Structures are given as structure tokens and as C-alpha cells.
Amino acid sequence: MGNWIINHGISGLILAVWLGLNVFLFVNAFLLYEKADKYFYTRKILGSALAWARASARCLNFNSMLILIPVCRNLLSFLRGTCSFCRSTLRKQLDHNLTFHKLVAYMICLHTAIHIIAHLFNFERYSNSRKATDGSIASVLSSLYNDKKEENYWLNPFHSPDMTVEYVTFTTIAGLTGVIITIALVLMVTSAMEFIRRSYFEVFWYTHHLFVIYFIGLGLHGIGGIVRGQTQESMHESDPRKCEESFQTWNDHHPSCKNPRFEGHAPESWKWILAPLILYLFERIILRGYRSLQKVEIIKVVMHPSKVLELQLTKRGFSMEVGQYIFVKCPSISYLEWHPFTLTSAPEEDFFSIHIRAAGDWTENLIRAFEQQHSPFPRIQVDGPFGTVSEDVFQYEVAMLVGAGIGVTPFASILKSIWYKFRQDDRKLKTQTIYFYWICRETGAFAWFNDLLASLEQEMEELGKVGFLNYRLFLTGWNSNIAGHAALNFDKATDILTGLKQKTFFGRPMWDNEFSAIATAHPKSAVGVFLCGPKKMAKSLSKRCRQHSSLDPRKVQFYFNKENF
């Protein structure tokens, strides 16, 4: 329980505050529209559906204000930098930005559904009240000022009995923008599903930019003033609590009970979303636009097995830390698309590099363009770098680095940096031991990383630090020929598949055994567990971090960290 609080306590507190604010805003708005005298007559037509619609609208505005902040990556990197002396548990919260972004999106969907359903009831009741001829207060209120076009004091937006719900929906600002907002939201949410995002990234990328339409529509949504309440002046002339029962004789025998006049609710959505929109646009247009104009020089291109492209680049003023990532754009392939890639170089190198695996149309087109050696290389634009949780790896005495497939890239940067630190005899390095796990489906994936691991093996031996780096390579996809060949050559000094001294394991790691062994070897250490891999593996490792952490805070504790970008 204690380890869970350390790993997730602050996240839980942030979520509790966010949910609490949603509940407070909903209840506060609901009670306002359910009890306030200003909306006394409006409730005579709409009932409680008015309060449901307005309360959900308040929460929609609040969450729409928040939705862009978690994807302001420059802001997050700035906060990470200014919080460099904070505890890692505080900085770690910045790495949950996309998770929070998704939660806010789900909350927007929930309140959108409530808002739409409530307004469907409202429109139906407006229509029925306008058609009614029973002389009820709802029918009287619906007829007020509808025949006097020069006056804007009406309550019911259905100005004649012949108007339909569909007509009002598609001819009013509120109705039309509501339809547009809903369509944009549905497309954004459905295209962001993991299957579509991973298999059809371009669909996700372009559809997600409908957020521009969403925010424009949201800002205009309240301009029409369909939700109306009694004017303050009218309430002095016709107190609704006193004049309700005499509605049939308003303006006749009761001079103190004149016909009530109504006004539209002032639009307020723009007040909620203006600041985050300016912040986000500053990030995307000003900062990214400026960086995209900076020249990026391609100094080396390497094609590795398993269709992995390595690009070594230089850019004036570029400064990085281990584990960071950049966004890359190739205008000749797509003028709008930016794709994130983890940096595989070390801060000590005079260039920065990325490794790109073919995993979709954009990456395949990029690799194909660089394979054509006879033509000039395409122009590359770079935005970043941006911080990630891997920056904290050197804050732990012991580190477990777990990479799946191309997910090894942030750890390439870390291991390279360690190599340089040892060569420069950096005595400030807090980390004493690193356990590195790489899980791959095919042997070819190991190829581009072998040279680095071989260099590290040799360096550790020369410095007498053989126990500093402990690595395990796991092959999850193999056939009987590969396994048999490896078994026959098991007694050789180097592995038959990788050429390294550490033998390749077949299958997946037995994580309980690995965690138990590390806990035994380091009984009083803080162990940072870093993963760049799928969600299923993240759940497994997070669970084992809790299980294998000691109840005594003075003894071994495992802290789980996952790459998110």
C-alpha cells in the first residue's frame, strides 16, 4: 500500500481534485438554474431539463479549458526543468499528461451526451408549449412577444406553431454549432482509438485536428442566446413568485404584474477556452514554426536490418538530455504531419540521432526516400527536444531498463551516456547498477544495438566494472532451427545470434524471478523501473513493483516509470 501511495498517490490526489471540481461545478450550476428566480418562468416550460443542460455545459467548458494543457509539450518541458530539484515522484506526474488528456476527453464526451439529451427534451417541450392551446402558463409564456419582431424579449425560440425541432436545430447558431461540435468530437474520439492510432496514424493525425473546428464552434455556441431568463428590470415589475398564479390577467388587472420580459444568457464558453487556446497556438505556431525554419543537417544515414533507419543530425543550438524525444516532419512526404521519435544519441555526442522503424505509410515512405541513395536526401524539420520520465534514470541507485522492440531507443541514449561518463571518469554518477532487458520478436532487431552493447561490455571490463551493466536479451519469435542452432553452440564464448558474451534467452522474462533476484542483491536500494513498451507489459511490471517493494520504507523499493509520448 505504501509503495502504491509513493507511485500513484499524487496522481490519485490530482484526479480527486479534478473530479471534485467537476462535481462542484455541476452541482453549483444545477442548483442555480433549478432554484434561481431569474429562470422561474423558463422552468415552467422546460422543467429540470434546463438545469441538466446548463450544469453539463458548465463542466464542458471547464474540461475544454483543460484538454489542451496536457499536450502543451513546451510548457511541460519547462515545468520539468524548473522542477529539476523536486522529488522524482512530483516530476513523474508530468509524464501522465496523455493519460490525463484522455480522461478529460472522456469527461467531455460524458457531459456532451448529458447536454444533448437534456436539450432534446428542452426542444421538444418548447415545441409542445408553442403548439399548445390549453391556456396553460407554458403556452402563454411561449406566445409572449413572438408576434412583435421588433422586441427581443421572447422566451420560446419556436416563434410559431409550425416550426419543427429540426428547423430550429439547423437554423439557429446554438443548434448548428452544436451539431458541428458533436460531429467533430465523435470523429476525434473514434479516430483516437488505439487500433486506429497505431495502424492508421495519418487518419488519427488529420482527424484530431478537428479540435480547431470544435473550439471555434464552442466559442460561438452560446451567441444565439436560446437559454433565456427574466431580465432584472422585469423581475422588479413582475415578481414571478407573486405573479405566477395571475398569469392570465397580466397587464390587465394587475399593474404590478406586467408581462415578463426575457433575455438570452450571455455566452461564456470563450472565457474558459481563450487562455489555453492562446497558449497552445503559441506553442504550435510560434515555437514550432520558428524551429521548423532552423536548418537541420543530415550527417549520416544508416539502414539497419528489420527496416530500421538511423538518422544522425545536427542543428544549431540543439541541446538534449538522455531519454528525450523530438518531433520530425518531412515536407516532401507530408507538409502537416509531425511524428515523435525518441533520441538514441547521448548528450555528450556532437550530433543527435533517431532510429525509425517501418510502422505505417509515413515511416515507410521516409525510409524509401532515404534508401534512394542516387537522389538528394529529403529535407527534415525538427521540433524539440521534449522531456520524458527517462531523464530521471540517474536519480536511482539501481535502474531496471525494459525495452520491447524499437522501444529500446530511449535506453540507447542512456547506455551511450553511461559509456561517456565512465570514459570521462564522472564520479558524480549516483547509479551503481543497471539491469537492462530487451524483448524482441526477431533476431534482426538485435543487429543495430549489438555494437553499443559490445562496446559497453569491453569498457566495463577495462574499468573493472563488470557488474555495473547486467543485460538480458529475449527472443520471443523463433523456430526450431534457430533454437537448435543456439543449443549446439551454447558452449561458445559468444552468443551465436548476437555475437555478445551474454547468451540470448528464448521466450519472455520470468519477472517475479528477476524482481526477487534484484531485491535480494540490493536489499536497501531505491530501484527505478523504466519501460518503453506496450500497456500489457506496463500493467505487469507496475504490479510487480508493488508486490516486490518492502513494507519497510528503509528497505528495497521499486518505482515504476513508463515512457508516454
Residues 408 and 526 in one domain: yes
Picking from 363, 386, 409, the residue at the C-terminal end of a domain is 386
Residues 116 and 246 in one domain: yes
Give the mean pLDDT of the chain: 82
Residues 34 and 176 in one domain: yes
Q: 161 preceded by cis ω (within 30°)?
A: no
**pLDDT 10s digits, 445-475:** 566 667 667 777 776 777 666 677 788 888 8
Inside any domain, residue 473: yes
| Cα dist from 225 to 124, 131, 139, 164, whole Å | 18, 22, 20, 18
Inside any domain, residue 241: yes
Confidence of residue 284 (pLDDT cuts 50, 70, 90): confident
Say if residue 85's pLDDT is above 60.
Answer: no
Say if residue 486's pLDDT is above 60.
Answer: no
| Sheet of strand 352-357: strand arrangement | 296-304, 308-315, 352-357
Inside any domain, residue 281: no
Inside any domain, residue 283: no
Inside any domain, residue 286: no
Least confident window among 268-282, 338-352, 469-483, 541-555: 469-483
Domain of 344, CATH number, reads 2.40.30.10
Q: Whole-angstrom Cα distance, residue 43 to residue 262?
A: 13
Residues 350 and 402 in one domain: no
Confidence of residue 216 (pLDDT cuts 50, 70, 90): very high
Residues 394 and 442 in one domain: yes
CB 353 within 8 A of CB 310: yes
**pLDDT 10s digits, 397-442:** 888 888 887 777 778 888 888 877 777 766 677 778 888 888 877 6
Residue 524: burial class (beta carbons within 10 Å; 0-12, 13-18, 19+):
exposed
Say if residue 2's pLDDT is above 60.
Answer: no
Domain of 394, CATH number, reads 3.40.50.80
Residues 258 and 395 in one domain: no
Inside any domain, residue 285: no
Residues 422 and 557 in one domain: yes
Greater confidence (304 vs 129) lies with: 129
Q: Is the dihedral of CA 536, 539, 542, 547 positive or negative?
A: negative
| Cα dist from 455 to 8, 302, 406, 470, 499, whole Å | 37, 19, 20, 14, 12
Greater confidence (439 vs 214) lies with: 214
What is the domain range of residue 544? Answer: 389-562
pLDDT at 445: 59
Q: Which of 371, 375, 404, 376 is nearest to 304 (CA)?
A: 371
**pLDDT 10s digits, 117-172:** 999 999 999 999 988 888 888 888 888 887 655 568 888 888 888 888 888 888 88
- What's the number of domains the chain is made of? 3
> Which residues have C-beta within 8 Å of that of residue 420, sequence separation ≥ 6?
346, 348, 349
pLDDT at 26: 97
Say if residue 8's pLDDT is above 70.
Answer: no
Phi, psi torsion values for 439, nearest 5 degrees: -110, 120
Q: Which of 475, 453, 464 is nearest to 425 (CA)?
A: 464
Confidence of residue 500 (pLDDT cuts 50, 70, 90): low
Q: Hunting for cell 558524480 — which residue is that?
A: 428
Tell me the residue length of the chain. 565
pLDDT at 479: 58
Q: Which of 444, 436, 435 is nearest to 497 (CA)?
A: 444
Confidence of residue 28 (pLDDT cuts 50, 70, 90): very high
Share of the chain above pLDDT 70, in %: 84
Picking from 353, 386, 419, the residue at the C-terminal end of a domain is 386
Picking from 386, 408, 439, the residue at the C-terminal end of a domain is 386
Residues 154 and 241 in one domain: yes
pLDDT at 489: 53
Residues 215 and 347 in one domain: no
Residues 380 and 418 in one domain: no
Confidence of residue 29 (pLDDT cuts 50, 70, 90): very high
Angle between helices 211-221 and 269-281 (to 10 degrees): 150
Residues 56 and 144 in one domain: yes
Residues 137 and 254 in one domain: yes
Inside any domain, residue 54: yes
